[in-house]
Amino acid sequence: MEIQQLDTTDPAARRAWHAVMEHAVRSDRPHALLTTYDAFEVVATSPSTYVQRTWLQAVEGSEVLGVAELELPLEENRDLGWCEVDVLPGHRRRGIGRSLWDAVVERARQDGRTRLGGEVSVDLSVAGAGLAFATAVGAVEKHREDHLLADLPVAPAQVDPAYELLTWRGRCPDEHREAYLAMRNQMNTDVPTGELDLEVAVLDDARLAASEERLMKAYDVRVAAARRRSDGVLGGYSLLFVPHGTRYGWQDDTLVMPEHRGHRLGAALKCANYGGLPGDVAEVHTWTAPANTAMHRTNTGLGFRVVEHMYEVEAVIA
């Protein structure tokens, strides 16, 4: 068995890497939301300015038995990397996961990184090996979130009459960009991250535009925002992605700015996005920290149910 770096110029190799990742993860995570092949193609073939990505694979003969991904943030958090390791079910407990981990650590160290983080998700009814593996390689839990799933449609939420809802798809219209950027940056500082010690990424217009451009290649990007009728101020937003060619949504950020809280805008914003989806989009995934009581209640009130526990873990590799 040999650990190789994926040749991202080889379409067949990219297809095989993704297929192994999908099979390995699906085997004990029936509710996993995975990067689609189309979305993987975008990141694998067009490097990002903000994150350097490397894909590894464990190969025996011509067969790929396991895969790993390493992400090195290039702007902030330059002391850490993020990784994922996945091994096909028929080839586990042979040291392949550890070999992939070792290769990831070596590359992260070469780039001067001293910490490696990752997400380990555990299905509520299928015992997976992810946490035992993470512990075996020296990673410890830093933060926990629930992965929740809702079937669509959900019952529509009331909109406080002091607000009106706006929606857009793809790029944020120019007239809302400044307010949207302020909210996105507020979100990055407000979202609970437990004991994770992370530098907060600051979005400016260029970085927002780059992210919008990239996301639109693989996702239908939908945003709902709440505007206070009395003064036109934007008080919150919710961001939803629908991967091209799929029948599910991925609920990302939802933020209500501090002075606009208490009007149940969170539920109204989410419902505005869900209500606008094509009828064949049947479910929505989201992640919320159990300690984030307001958002957790909003989600369960809308019909979301917990399907997995997601642990953010981190190992010191200095």
Gap between the Cα atoms of 15 and 17, Å rounded: 6
Nearer to ligand COA, 3 or 216 (CB): 3
**Could you tell me where the beta strands, DSSP code E, fall in 15-173?**
51-60, 63-73, 80-87, 115-123, 140-151, 163-169
> Going by C-beta distance under 8 Å and a sequence separation of 6 or more, which residues neighbour residue 279?
none
Cβ(116)–Cβ(83) below 8 Å: yes
Instruction: Give 21 or 221: the residue with its C-beta nearer to ligand COA.
Output: 21
Is residue 56 classed as helix, strand or coil in its secondary structure? Answer: strand
- Rounded Cα distance, 2 and 56, in Å: 10
Strand order in the sheet with 234-243: 2-5, 51-60, 63-73, 80-87, 115-123, 305-316, 140-151, 283-288, 248-256, 234-243, 219-228, 163-169
Please, which residue, 20 or 157, has the CB nearer to ligand COA? 20
Q: What is the C-alpha separation between 31 and 148, in angstroms, rounded? A: 9
**Comparison of 95 and 245: residue with beta carbon closer to ligand COA:** 95
**How far is residue 225's CA from residue 235's CA, in Å, rounded to a whole number?**
7
Q: How far is the CB of 88 from ligand COA (least distance, A)?
A: 8
Interface residue list for ligand COA (CB under 6 A)? 24-25, 28, 84-87, 92-98, 118, 120, 128-130, 132-133, 136
The least distance separating ligand COA from the CB of residue 136, rounded to whole angstroms, comes to 3
Least distance (Å) from ligand COA to the CB of residue 24? 5
Closer to ligand COA by CB, 25 or 226: give it.
25
CB of 187 to ligand COA, least distance (A): 25
Take residue 72 and report the two structure tokens written for it. Answer: 């090195």
* Closest distance of CB 198 from ligand COA, Å: 18
CB of 98 to ligand COA, least distance (A): 3
28 vs 38 by CB, closer to ligand COA: 28
